[in-house]
Homo-oligomer: A and B are copies of this chain.
Amino acid sequence: MAVYSGGMSRRTSPSPPAADASGRPLRADAERNRQRIITAAQEVFAQRGIEVTLDDIAHHAGVGVGTIYRRFANREELVEAIFDKEIQRVIELAEEALTREDPWDGLVHFFTAAGQDFAEDRGLREVLLVGSHGKDRVAAARDRLTPAINAVLERAQRHGSLRDDIEVTDFPLIQIMLGAATQRTKAVSQDMWQRYLTLILDALRTSRERPTALPQPALSQEEFDRAAP
């Protein structure tokens, strides 16, 4: 009963073929299954978080659990394999923001692009924002991420567009807040987080005369109820 469903978002790029412990490359069918497992894990983690069972992932990949355990020693190893790649991407996003000409624009772009990644990937939120899972790996990633975020923020502050009292740790906390809004509303609207990001950006500006137009209409009471998990 295969439920494998093919590619996911732009974040996916095929992993390089893996070799066996003794250096021998994987048999063709094994390699194919390995890719399926990785893709399935990305999708399932993204949709339902890191707590999902390996049985779920196996089922989604259309393989047996045994097959997963043949390639990954245990759950943790699979989780790492997936999120090393995804965390890397967020770092690139921050570095890229610095190349934008207008500092405020760079900041907005960074908050939005990261928000998009987090909105699409519950697993990524849980690993990178909530903590508690795979501490070491994540701490290392954060050490690369922090200076980049800092640069984005400070550049916008010198420029006068970002209020002075914002610091690095505000970024993950804002993303955590947006993630919570996403979680609560995603059953009904994928992009509600944009409404709240726009609000928060209005808060981050040094000053403003009028509200920025919100990109999403508020949920109706009925939608809000329907979205309840």
Contacts and interface: CB of A to CB of B under 8 A. Distances in A.
Nearest to A224: B169
Interface size class of A (residues with CB under 8 A): 35 or more
A219 B130 contact: no
Nearest to A228: B131
Give this chain's copy count: 2
Nearest to A211: B163
A221 B178 contact: no
A19 interface: no
A213 B165 CA distance: 8
Contact of A199 (B131, B181, B203): B203
A181 B170 CA distance: 10
B206 A207 contact: no
Contacts of A203: 199-200, 202-203
Interface of A: 129-132, 135, 139, 142, 146, 163-170, 172-174, 176-181, 184-185, 192, 196, 199-200, 202-204, 206-211, 213-214, 218-221, 223-225, 227-229
Given A165-B211, A169-B218, A208-B208, 9 more contacts: A131-B227, A131-B229, A165-B214, A168-B218, A172-B224, A176-B184, A180-B180, A202-B202, A207-B210
